[in-house]
């Protein structure tokens, strides 16, 4: 179990949270000698870099952009005297892919996994009232014992290079905010919430975890700041009369104020924005508050010019405005959990999230997206000697993701893998552990799924029985029978859907990927692949098929925007399947989707 709290960092009457973002000293460790040379006490050179950001796209030298290995960050922080007597932590929003943290030259913490937060306890090491030197060694090498999977090779010139088993650039560094936080000795560490909605009333079941002593009490305020319910004790329930439910694109957020006190003394206070809603799967329906919904939206990436995968609040705002404009209601955090701000915004805007753990590349292939279409399987990815270590990292990431995100009303499902090699018997015990852990950790028992590539067909996939709804990534008309063969692609696609229908799984299906690479510069009549016209034709063909199967309950196109990948023959300065360009301007397909999505009701394909 996690030994630290993942509550979102906030300043409250009892807590203090300070962002350490800004320019940090930065040095690449070309020889891998930083540790030996004592860089943990101070990073050499004069270069500085913004935090949060990926380090790669600032520089003009290719060897720096492609750098693989250790990189060192340093900042000096004054820890205020008023933090004395509190528990003091450094909280990293993420460090990609692993990090060692030093305070005043001493190793104070380490973490593996590049897309989830971790806390480093510096209570006994921090010198309050003085400057403290914070140094972080970050390593961005890919391997098969951590997620996402890949390899690190050595070029003839001795330099290392990343070979991802996935289709996005290996952006890395301190890509999310870093906070200095002070928390009282007796503190609230976590809260579990689940909802039951009845006639004119909702029940909020809760369970608060704490460190140290103190009595728990809870107050629930509506959006006008009116107290609507109260409860006492570390676990129990609260009732809300005539609740204002959290709905799709019509969010309503209550504030749950959790207090830890000793008589009249408030020991800790933490406010959490919550939405009252339920999610469940019934037959082939996805139900939100008991009513059927149809998902319209995107697979996305955290990816933009200059800062790469670094969190950019302006880009986030633009993305949400575009998603509203186009009539989307949902997205998948392909292929890793995103920055926490994005979930907070989705909570406020009423978007639905399929939250994905960074388990991508669990298929030994550098061109997964190509092999997927050939029907050729990999070589039993889940029976390697390293598999148990990989599984441990995977389970840990599932735990960190669920602990971090379980209270967001926007999160309606967990995606536990993307396009894994699920055709081998050895995948079954591995997947079973991952799926069981997600069920055990989630107080709301949200639906679980994994995104399946084409090899994972009706006859070959060994694991789809574990999914509460089936997520298909399908590229008919692109990797499979593209161009003039598109008519055959449609027939082949219908044949596959008929095969799924014949299995009678009685589960909803969601297309978590479909699309076509498209150069915004290209127009052609009649169409050719890569032209804007062709992207629209592929979508029309695919939508026709989606529309003719009643158990298809969602479509999330690949991708929201063009994004950076490793360079190669199949990629023109990145993946161009965006509906928007990387600069967030529409391609023609955006207008086609807007017309379709604005016309599809939320309960599209509701069963009578
Ligand atoms: C996929 C992958 C995604 C790729 C996409 C593509 O199946 O899940 O990461 O970017 O295909 O465009 O090939």
For helices 532-547 and 588-599, give the axis angle rounded to 10 degrees.
20
Q: Is 230 an annotated catalytic residue?
A: no
Question: Which numbered atom of ligand 1 lies nearest the CA of 479?
Answer: 13
- Other beta carbons within 10 angstroms of residue 349's beta carbon come to 16
Distance CA 489, CA 542 (A): 9
CATH number of 16-183: 2.60.120.260
Give residue 343 CA to ligand 1 midpoint distance, Å. 23
Q: What is the pLDDT of residue 608?
A: 75
Distance CA 128, CA 83 (A): 7
Domain 280-599 -> CATH class? alpha beta
Helices and strands (DSSP H and E) totals, the chain:
9, 30
Distance CA 207, CA 185 (A): 20
Query: Quick check: 412 and 455 in contact, CB under 8 A?
Result: no
Q: Is 399 an annotated catalytic residue?
A: no
Closest residue to atom 3 of ligand 1, CA basis:
167
3-state SS class at 227: strand
Q: What is the pLDDT of residue 424?
A: 87
Question: Which numbered atom of ligand 1 lies nearest the CA of 563?
Answer: 10
Our answer on whether the CB atom of 369 is closer than 6 Å to any ligand 1 atom is yes
Our answer on whether the CB atom of 418 is closer than 6 Å to any ligand 1 atom is yes
Q: What is the pLDDT of residue 365?
A: 64
Going by their DSSP bridges, the two strands 98-103 and 131-139 should be labelled as antiparallel
Give residue 311 CA to ligand 1 midpoint distance, Å. 22
546: enclosing H helix or E strand: helix 532-547
Chain region(s) in the chain for CATH 2.60.120.260: 16-183
Residues 6+ apart with CB under 8 A from 261: 214, 215, 217, 267
Closest residue to atom 5 of ligand 1, CA basis:
369
Query: Quick check: 360 and 335 in contact, CB under 8 A?
Result: yes
Residues 6+ apart with CB under 8 A from 314: none
3-state SS class at 125: coil
Give residue 298 CA to ligand 1 midpoint distance, Å. 13
Question: What secondary structure, in 3-state letters, does 64-112 show?
Answer: HHCCCCEEEEEEEEECCHHHCCCEEEEEECCCECEEEEEECCEEEEEEE
Residue ranges for the chain with pLDDT beneath 50: none
Ranges of H-type helices in 105-261: none
Distance CA 567, CA 575 (A): 10
* Stated length of the chain: 608
CATH number of 187-277: 2.60.40.10
Distance CA 556, CA 329 (A): 10
pLDDT tens, residue by residue, 124-163: 999 999 999 999 999 999 999 999 999 999 999 999 999 9
Query: Quick check: 207 and 258 in contact, CB under 8 A?
Result: no
pLDDT tens, residue by residue, 238-296: 999 999 999 999 999 999 999 999 999 999 999 999 999 999 999 999 999 999 999 99
3-state SS class at 537: helix
DSSP 465-492: GG-SSEEEE--BTTTBS-GGGHHHHHHH
418: enclosing H helix or E strand: strand 411-418
Tokens 């009578």 map to which residue? 608
Chain region(s) in the chain for CATH 2.60.40.10: 187-277
Question: Which numbered atom of ligand 1 lies nearest the CA of 515?
Answer: 12
Residues 6+ apart with CB under 8 A from 572: 517, 519
Q: What is the pLDDT of residue 363?
A: 87
Our answer on whether the CB atom of 473 is closer than 6 Å to any ligand 1 atom is yes
Chain region(s) in the chain for CATH 3.20.20.80: 280-599
Query: Quick check: 403 and 190 in contact, CB under 8 A?
Result: yes
Bridge partner list, 308: 304
Q: What is the pLDDT of residue 369?
A: 58
Catalytic residue among 74, 419, 453, 537: 419
Q: What is the pLDDT of residue 378?
A: 56
Residues 6+ apart with CB under 8 A from 461: 422, 423, 452, 455
Query: Quick check: 396 and 113 in contact, CB under 8 A?
Result: yes
């Amino acid at each position: 179990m996690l030994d630290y709290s993942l509550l979102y960092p906030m300043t409250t009457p009892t807590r203090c949270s300070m962002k350490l973002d800004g320019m940090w000293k930065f040095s690449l460790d070309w020889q891998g000698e930083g540790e030996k040379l004592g860089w943990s006490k101070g990073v050499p050179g004069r270069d500085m870099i913004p935090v949060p950001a990926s380090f790669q796209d600032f520089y003009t030298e290719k060897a720096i952009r492609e750098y693989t290995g250790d990189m060192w960050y340093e900042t000096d922080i004054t820890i205020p005297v008023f933090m004395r007597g509190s528990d003091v932590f450094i909280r990293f929003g993420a460090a990609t892919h692993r990090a060692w943290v030093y305070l005043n030259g001493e190793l104070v913490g380490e973490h593996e996994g590049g897309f989830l937060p971790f806390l480093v306890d510096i209570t006994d090491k921090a010198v309050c009232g003085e400057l403290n030197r914070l140094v972080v060694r970050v390593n961005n090498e890919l391997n098969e014992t951590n997620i996402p999977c890949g390899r690190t090779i050595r070029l003839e010139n001795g330099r290392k290079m990343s070979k991802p088993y996935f289709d996005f650039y290996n952006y890395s560094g301190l890509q999310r905010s870093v906070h200095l936080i002070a928390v009282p000795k007796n503190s609230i560490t976590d809260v579990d919430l689940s909802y039951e909605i009845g006639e004119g009333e909702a029940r909020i079941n809760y369970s608060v975890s704490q460190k140290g002593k103190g009595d728990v009490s809870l107050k629930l305020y509506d959006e006008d700041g009116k107290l609507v319910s109260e409860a006492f004790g570390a676990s129990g329930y609260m009732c809300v009369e005539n609740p204002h439910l959290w709905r799709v694109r019509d969010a309503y957020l209550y504030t749950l104020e959790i207090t830890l006190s000793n008589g009249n003394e408030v020991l800790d206070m933490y406010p959490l924005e919550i939405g009252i809603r339920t999610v469940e799967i019934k037959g082939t329906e996805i139900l939100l508050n008991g009513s059927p919904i149809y998902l319209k939206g995107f697979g996305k990436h955290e990816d933009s010019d200059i800062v790469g995968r670094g969190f950019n609040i302006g880009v986030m705002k633009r993305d949400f405005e575009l998603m509203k404009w186009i009539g989307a209601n949902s997205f998948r955090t392909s292929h890793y959990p995103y920055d926490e701000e994005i979930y907070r915004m989705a909570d406020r805007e009423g978007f639905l999230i399929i939250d994905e753990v960074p388990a991508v590349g669990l298929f030994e292939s550098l061109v997964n997206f190509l092999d997927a279409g050939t029907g050729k399987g990999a070589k039993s990815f889940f029976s390697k000697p390293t598999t148990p270590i990989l599984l441990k990292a995977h389970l840990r990431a599932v735990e960190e993701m669920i602990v971090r995100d379980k209270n967001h009303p926007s999160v309606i499902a967990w995606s536990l893998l993307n396009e894994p090699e699920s055709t081998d018997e050895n995948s079954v015990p591995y997947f079973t552990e991952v799926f069981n852990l997600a069920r055990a950790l989630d107080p709301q028992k949200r639906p679980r799924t994994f995104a399946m590539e084409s090899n994972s067909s009706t006859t070959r996939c060994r694991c789809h029985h574990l999914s509460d709804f089936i997520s298909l990534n399908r590229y008919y008309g692109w990797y499979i029978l593209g161009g003039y063969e598109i008519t055959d692609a449609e027939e082949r696609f219908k044949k596959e859907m008929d095969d799924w229908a014949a299995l009678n799984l009685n589960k909803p299906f969601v297309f978590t990927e479909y699309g076509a690479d498209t150069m915004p510069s290209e127009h052609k009549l009649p169409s050719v692949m890569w032209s804007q016209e062709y992207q629209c034709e592929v979508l029309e063909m695919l939508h026709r098929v989606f529309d003719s199967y009643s158990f298809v309950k969602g479509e999330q196109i690949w991708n929201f925007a063009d994004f950076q990948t490793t360079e190669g023959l199949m990629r023109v300065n990145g993946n161009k399947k965006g509906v928007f360009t990387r600069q967030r301007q529409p391609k023609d397909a955006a207008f086609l989707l807007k017309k379709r999505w604005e016309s599809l009701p939320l309960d599209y394909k509701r069963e009578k």
